[in-house]
Structure 1
């Protein structure tokens, strides 16, 4: 038996803290709903589907980038932070998203990509013209080494050097991602002010918060020191595939800089008058949890961050989950995690972990019982597996670069499936930008709505279950234990204590409840019922009980 006692942490939720324990639904707008037949999802398409999202019972939506962009990285290369790309509609369409969502009781969070812009952004166009123009220092420029090679060994997430030569300035510029995504220089005060103005613009437009892309990439080492090598035994594929040489370095100097904390405090101060919240994406394979703790500690930094432990290919086990919860408490116990099993950057977890229907439902229930907030990715509620996309149909530059060992991110980005019997599953009347999987179409919303036992209804039930239990939304975590395939822990709030047990294996297990007057709950989410203090858990079955 492995017993881990997690120190009790304070947990309360006020009206200003709507984000604490919230369930956030991620929308990848290119693939959600097309309203005009051009094969690409858009903002008015989102408006038309907001009643469906409301029916899930989620607290907020997170919309991936819809800003003006040349779409080299599908919106994560921004050329105008304060406008809507015509592909997705207009600013009036975005206002309709906000108005409709708020009328349905849903908060709106948008994806801010602050670490870099498109090379077509006016800021970069000006910056690269000379070494002495007003924006000359807005990006990360560096002299070549004496032999003309890049100034250091930093690598791009998308392969190759993180430096690109520019013949106008006869200097290199830094790009953590594509060469068409130059990194902003956060050491320049004017850059910080411009980005805080972007946040203010959208807050004034009515958004309730932000998902902050690559939040730990904002600052670089002023001295441009080279990263040390990372020993093979410490390498993993949490944020980059193993075929990517990015995993060969310990990224001490190209990201994760201490100056970032002061900028995050400034951003939090901008958000505060609007009761807005942010969730940061921490892209680091070794220190992700530690950075999550640093960035969410106290009331003057970010409200939430997520790392990649549950987005990795490693199947979760009782032991690994207990160790994860213990580590989060150790390094981020005074902060707030945001958990996700799938998103637009990773293979969908149904396929990544090769889950049976029972396993998928049990892990979804477990997700809703964790301390922290939760993100679910469009189609996750349908139990969609990863779609197979042929090389000829690939759109993702990441997949094209590393094919076939890494097939990129298109398989998790294929269009949402709405109607089982409709053309293109009801996503578009035109040709979809990515092909729609026939396997997905059989799992469409229309097919599941009429089946009470469908995956969709399980998600509705577990979200509702989470919301009616204060202990699950914002309570403390204690007494985490792993024994074989059995994981148990307590969630505690002033109103109640919930004991959570999960059989994460294929054979049944017997559990004796802790002492106390426990009442069974969660029958609607397949919770096993105790008898005389003893519970028989079937394979991949939870047991949830409460005392007040």
Structure 2
């Protein structure tokens, strides 16, 4: 659809959809990992044209937007999360013209485009860093985080890299250390420098002018560091969490209060939001990479209307099982911390073991369990990110060491196998070469166990996992409280999660049996009108509701 001219400049006439300032609140975002979605060039690596060719499929799911992981110019040391040019496309993914085409095709299908911005750090091959490391007096000398060594030549403090080892790398040219929270080839930008902030906001404007509808901000809480470079304190063993770094990585042994999560970030986020507000209908979701105080940071970053629209939380990306108590605790803690804030929930993404394996390996009926989890995440208060292949029920691939590409997995093998297992190619056709992903040699193997879950094997099967997701997304759109309403939990024992989503005068009761046994719960007070169209079979009796194992029930309350 075409629209009136908006406040912000748009360089792609006709490539806009009707702005809705509130579309993101309760929106469902489908994450596309471009390397693994669809290859059209035959090089075995997915590309932007491939995504454009599959927009019809994405639209058939009923999602509101797609989030595309980084496709910018990059040496690919961390597969695009090491950017060497923020305003161009890495040739393996295509061209700026291909991106413009993708935006238009998506908008023609009513799908918004969210792109992944990596602002906390760049590649060491970015022209900014190349200039910065020349000497201590050049115009960009202070654009990255440089520091003198201690008198004995060791790093300035005890900060650790998520990818292992010290977060400081010695540079012989400047005879100083530079900070890298990730790979040594990913130096951290110095957000205390106003020129850096301005340059990065220029990048944001470039893509807004190109027609994007929003941004997923990678590692948003890593932007600022403590100016005094104080040591992080130790973290008690019982508080450590595996959703940020594996247990084999000592990164989890610190309380990260000085190398990230700094209060100065709030003012930058306000500058960022002010820029987005010039472009009606755009949004931003910040990834809070912190398992220690993540919900409080999400609350801080989304409170009010002058910072992030929403934040991408890690609370459901760890191995901790999904239980009634856990879901209630996470949701209650967030609502208490930020009653007017907004979170974006995910069970899987490109960095963690797929939840079909992470949680599904521990149940007797994985298929029913995954169907229940789909209903659950699409009923929680907040927006939702679905990761490509999640709608097919894809499990984590178990790859051989020689097939690994991820430097994280190679570094910590065999105790931690890295992120390649969740990044294997999308399976489109059960019997085609490489499952329809490429006519070439795929950059990661296509797991044989994924083939029978391919899109063409599920598309026309009414009871398939794929069509279950389609039904649920249609159901969510038909009942506004599920997307935008408030949430209040009901007491239904320790095996059934029950809650009411309320928007205006409409209230929807939801109940989820998280156990492998049939459960009977009390009927809510007042008029209860069972709803259908969601694919579950829980049913209402005179005074109770009966739920089969891993089953759900939905009703409108009078």
Tell me which interval the TM-score lies in, with the shorter structure as reference length.
Answer: over 0.9
Matched, 1:321 2:327: yes
Matches within 5 A, 1:73-472: 73-275=78-280, 276-353=282-359, 354=361, 355=363, 356-472=366-482
State which of 64, 73, 88 in structure 2 corresponds to 1:68. Answer: 73
Contact 1:527/1:544 (<8 A) preserved:
no
For 1:516 and 1:102, locate their aligned partners in 2 and report how far apart those are by CA, in whole Å.
43
The alpha-carbon deviation at position 482 of structure 1 amounts to: 5.2
The alpha-carbon deviation at position 371 of structure 1 amounts to: 0.2
Q: Which residue of 2 aligns with 1:8?
A: none
The alpha-carbon deviation at position 516 of structure 1 amounts to: 1.2
Q: Which residue of 2 aligns with 1:474?
A: 484
The alpha-carbon deviation at position 205 of structure 1 amounts to: 0.2
Aligned residues: 535
For 2:313 and 2:289, locate their aligned partners in 1 and report how far apart those are by CA, in whole Å.
7
Contact 1:506/1:539 (<8 A) preserved:
yes
* Structure 1 segments unaligned to the other structure (5+ residues): 1-13
The alpha-carbon deviation at position 523 of structure 1 amounts to: 4.5
Matches within 5 A, 1:480-519: 480-481=490-491, 483-519=493-529
* Structure 2 segments unaligned to the other structure (5+ residues): 1-18
> Which range is displaced more, 322-331 or 359-368?
322-331
The alpha-carbon deviation at position 314 of structure 1 amounts to: 1.1
Q: Which residue of 1 aligns with 2:10?
A: none
Structure 1 segments, 4+ long, off by >6 Å, are: none
Question: What are the Cα deviations for residues 117-173 of structure 1, in whole angstroms up to 9, with x where unaligned?
Answer: 000000000000010000000000000000000000000000000000000000000
For 2:266 and 2:331, locate their aligned partners in 1 and report how far apart those are by CA, in whole Å.
24
Matched, 1:520 2:525: no
For 2:535 and 2:543, locate their aligned partners in 1 and report how far apart those are by CA, in whole Å.
20
For 2:258 and 2:293, locate their aligned partners in 1 and report how far apart those are by CA, in whole Å.
13
Contact 1:418/1:446 (<8 A) preserved:
yes
For 2:176 and 2:312, locate their aligned partners in 1 and report how far apart those are by CA, in whole Å.
35
For 2:106 and 2:244, locate their aligned partners in 1 and report how far apart those are by CA, in whole Å.
32
Secondary structure in 1 matching 2:54: helix
Secondary structure in 2 matching 1:274: coil
The alpha-carbon deviation at position 522 of structure 1 amounts to: 3.1
> Which range is displaced more, 47-56 or 319-328?
319-328
> Which range is displaced more, 152-161 or 471-480?
471-480
The alpha-carbon deviation at position 531 of structure 1 amounts to: 2.4
Question: What are the Cα deviations for residues 183-211 of structure 1, in whole angstroms up to 9, with x where unaligned?
Answer: 00000000000000000000000000000
Contact 2:471/2:533 (<8 A) preserved:
no
The alpha-carbon deviation at position 535 of structure 1 amounts to: 1.3
TM-score, normalization: structure 1? Answer: 0.96
For 1:400 and 1:495, locate their aligned partners in 2 and report how far apart those are by CA, in whole Å.
54
TM-score, normalization: structure 2? Answer: 0.95
Question: What are the Cα deviations for residues 477-508 of structure 1, in whole angstroms up to 9, with x where unaligned?
Answer: 11343512111111100141011111100000
Secondary structure in 2 matching 1:17: coil
Contact 2:131/2:141 (<8 A) preserved:
yes
The CA RMSD over aligned residues, in Å, is 1.0
For 1:416 and 1:479, locate their aligned partners in 2 and report how far apart those are by CA, in whole Å.
37
Contact 1:322/1:482 (<8 A) preserved:
no
